[in-house]
Amino acid sequence: MEEQRALSALLDAQGRLKVWPKKQARKLAALRYLAGMFDADRVYSEREVNALLDKAHTFGDLFLLRRALIEAGLLARDAHGREYRRNS
């Protein structure tokens, strides 16, 4: 419940992230929320990942989000950055 409360403060009325949090716990909540937008059994192209993340936030930095998802181990990509998958 704490994570849900932290997350609700970060989202606008359409469910998009409106800010990137400074606190680690809130970042993790935001990243889990974003990771949940990806199907676990699907391979995504970089363009598809970017499009999904672009629609999921309002502050204009999808590259920060993509990098943070990968660094947190919630999203994996191949060595060439062409294929992305959600980690379970």
Q: Which residues contact 45 (CB under 8 A, 6 or more apart)?
A: 82, 83, 84
pTM comes to 0.92
What digits encode the pLDDT tens for the residues 14-67?
999 999 999 998 999 999 999 999 999 999 999 999 999 999 999 999 999 999
Work out how many domains the chain is built from and give that number: 1
pLDDT at 3: 75
pLDDT at 6: 77
What would the two tokens of residue 14 be?
Answer: 């359409």
pLDDT band at 10 (very low <50, low <70, confident <90, very high): very high
Greatest pairwise CA separation for the chain in angstroms: 38
Question: Closest Cα partner for 77 from 39, 44, 52?
Answer: 44
d(CA 39, CA 35): 9
For 9, the domain range is 2-86
